[in-house]
Amino acid sequence: MILPIISSSFDSNVFLIIDEKIALVDTGAGTSNLVDEIRKRVSKIDLIINTHAHLDHCGGNKFFKCKILVHESDAAEMRSGEFYGTCSMAGKKIPLRVSEMLKGGDKIDMGEHVFEVVHTPGHTLGSICLYERDKKILISGDTLFSDGSFGRADLGGNFEELVSSLERLSKLDFNLLLPGHGNIARDEECKNAIATAIAIAGV
């Protein structure tokens, strides 16, 4: 089961995966309301998977004593507390630990859900999406939003790489899109989202 915790505009969406293991995909900026909401749902977290190293997605990591996974290209930003400059949201550096560094193609076996790590640089160097091939689920971080927009590329990213990442996502078969901000997309909305993103990007 995947439970979405939809955020405010200054936080990221958080996705709680309840399976043989219990995982969080992103933890928001670390606001007490969001952390309290997570703790209402579960008493224990086995691992956190961060889609990228911006503070609005991983600031809540510090409240959980569990394994933390992030792509190898974003690990240094998390450990330094810089978060590609987004540490300004907190007014100071907040170094965070990294337990394991991910690469594209890695598999994260939760039990009934097995997620493939899709490296989608562009928003940051180490941005990832999580793809559940059998269940046709894409957790997209800030690489793709349900309205067809996508994350900015000026905080540790690269627009040309972002375009390539969108093209990569267009080849995946998914009918549930769980983005880093905004609403969830289902079925035809997913196809419309990626088609719109590619059109906006000028591919």
In angstroms, the CA 159 to CA 151 distance is 10
Q: Which helix (H) or strand (E) holds 99?
A: none
DSSP H helical ranges for the chain: 32-41, 55-58, 75-80, 159-170, 188-201
> Please, which residues bridge with residue 131 across strands?
116, 138
What is the pTM (predicted TM-score) of this model?
Answer: 0.94
**148 within 8 A of 193, measured Cβ to Cβ:** yes
Q: Which range is least confidently modeled, 9-13, 87-91, 104-108, 188-192? A: 87-91
Q: Judge whether residue 86 has pLDDT over 90.
A: no
Closest alpha carbon to 146 in 33, 13, 57: 13
Q: Collapse the DSSP code of 164 into the 3-class scheme (helix H, G, I; strand E, B; otherwise coil) and give the result.
A: helix
Average pLDDT over residues 176-188: 97
Give every CB contact of residue 91 below 8 A, 6+ residues apart in sequence: none
In angstroms, the CA 155 to CA 64 distance is 26
Domain 2-201: CATH class, spelled out: alpha beta
Segments making up each domain of the chain, as ranges: 2-201
Q: What is the pLDDT of residue 29?
A: 87
pLDDT band, very low/low/confident/very high, at 203 (cuts 50, 70, 90): low
Q: What is the pLDDT of residue 124?
A: 96
**98 within 8 A of 75, measured Cβ to Cβ:** yes
Average pLDDT over residues 165-172: 97
Per-residue pLDDT of 107-152, as tens digits, reads: 999 999 999 999 999 999 999 999 999 999 999 999 999 999 999 8
Average pLDDT over residues 32-61: 90
Q: What is the pLDDT of residue 30?
A: 82
